[in-house]
Structure 1
Amino acid sequence: MTSHYFVGIPIDPSVIPFLSNWQETLQQHMDYKVWTHPEDFHITLKFLGPSSAEQLQSFVTRLDECDWPEAFSLTIGPGGYFGNPEKPRVFHVNVNLVPALKKIHQLVEEAGKHAGFALEDRRYTPHITLAKKWKGGQSPLIKEADLFAEKVELKVDRFCIFQIHPQQTPKYHKTAVYNLRKGPINGTAN
């Protein structure tokens, strides 16, 4: 059986309580089939899908050759969604697409292309999924937009390749870690 992988930015542990609190508030209004486990919170850079060992190694080799930017900070929040505004299929936290994040995404896409992974055909919309696969309830954003309006700073100093283990909790396991260059991470950097 071929394993499935994706590339993502893990969430700094200091921000996890903020995201978990939002999930708890959301659970008072809506029901979803899948609630992201706190240890699985991340910002996806690229979904790879099923990957052979050879294809994954080719991808890793390309990533090893990249010139990654310095560590940086970005803003996460407010809350957002994909799909019907009243019954969103995905409820997430918005992520500010700063230039450093955009550069990392582009380098990962290029490495993926050279390793034979399909290029994403949608515009990159960074986010942190809180819940997906709507089952019931109505989005609190309809009547209480300020309920998920808060924003917090997230420090980004690395990204990872994750292997997906759908039957486990948490289900995302790091298989490789790429550290960004050391540098100031106060404020929004390049």
Structure 2
Amino acid sequence: MISHYFLAIPLAERLQRVTRQTAETFLKTVRYKRITQPCDYHLTLYFFGALNNEEKQKVCRISKKIADNKNPFQLTLTGIDGFGERRHPHVLFASVAESKELIGLQEQITEVLTVNGFQPDKRAYHPHITLARHWMDGMMNVDLPQYSSTIAGHTWEVDHITLFQIYPDQARKYRPACIFPFNKK
């Protein structure tokens, strides 16, 4: 069986609990098919889908080269939002403040991987941390977005990117396959 992978920035461990607690306040009146476990919170940079071993090694070489030339940067959570209807979004997520460093990193990764034969996502990049997806029923008791939530203003230092392998049938769905630390200048 060929495994599926994606490149991402994991949410700092110290913010996972507060983000989950915030998500739970929004999930009291809405049911979703999938609730993301806090250990799986991340910002996707590039989704690959299935990769064979040769492709995985190529991704690792490219990612290491990119990470070796990056400096750490800060990201800030801004609140809770959703894709789709405001009262029952298809995807509920934690949003992040605009970041030139994040957008630049994602664009660089996409450009280099595309030149090396990988197929980029056709959708515009919208950085977010998925909290729940596949709305089933119920209605939010607040209008989204909510920028005054308890997570707004929390920051963390991004000092690496991670290639995650997907385990769809396990509680922890995403596990690091490779970690690429940034250059610490």
Fold conserved between structures, TM > 0.5 = yes
Structure 1 residue 149 displacement after superposition: 6.7
Secondary structure, in 3 states, of the residue corresponding to 1:55?
helix
1:3-38 Cα distance to aligned partner (Å, 9 max, x none): 100011111111111111112212212110100011
The structure-2 alpha-carbon separation of the partners of 1:3 and 1:143, relative to structure 1 and needing over 3 Å to count, comes to closer
Give unpaired runs (5+ residues) of structure 1.
184-190
Q: Which amino acid aligns with 2:59?
A: F
Dislocated runs of 4+, deviation >6 Å: none
Give the count of matched residue pairs: 183
Give the alignment partner of residue 158 of structure 1, picking from 142, 160, 168.
160
| 2:43/2:129 contact within 8 Å kept | yes
Q: Is the 8 A contact 2:83 2:91 kept in 1?
A: yes
Correspondence 1:181 to 2:154: no
Q: Is the 1:56–1:115 Cα contact (8 Å) retained in structure 2?
A: no
Q: Secondary structure at the match of 1:112?
A: helix
What percentage of aligned pairs have identical amino acids?
Answer: 30
Indicate if the aligned counterparts of 2:83 and 2:90 stay in contact, CA closer than 8 A. Answer: yes
> Residue 172 in 1 paired to residue 181 in 2?
no
Q: CA deviation at 1:139?
A: 2.1
CA distance in 2, matches of 1:10, 1:98: 16
Separation in structure 1 between the aligned mates of residue 86 and residue 160 of structure 2, nearest angstrom: 33
> Is the partner of 1:65 in helix, strand or coil?
helix
Runs of 5+ in structure 2 lacking a partner? none
Q: What is the match of residue 103 of structure 2?
A: 102
After TM superposition, the structure 1 = structure 2 runs for residues 112-127 of structure 1, keeping only pairs within 5 Å, are 112-127=113-128
1:41 aligns with: 41
Give the Cα–Cα distance (whole angstroms) in 2 for the partners of residues 105 and 68 of structure 1.
14
TM-score (norm 1): 0.88
Task: Say if 1:65 and 1:26 are closer, same or farther in 2 by CA, change over 3 A.
Answer: same
Residue in 1 that maps onto 2:63: 63
Distance 1:78 1:52, change over 3 A: same
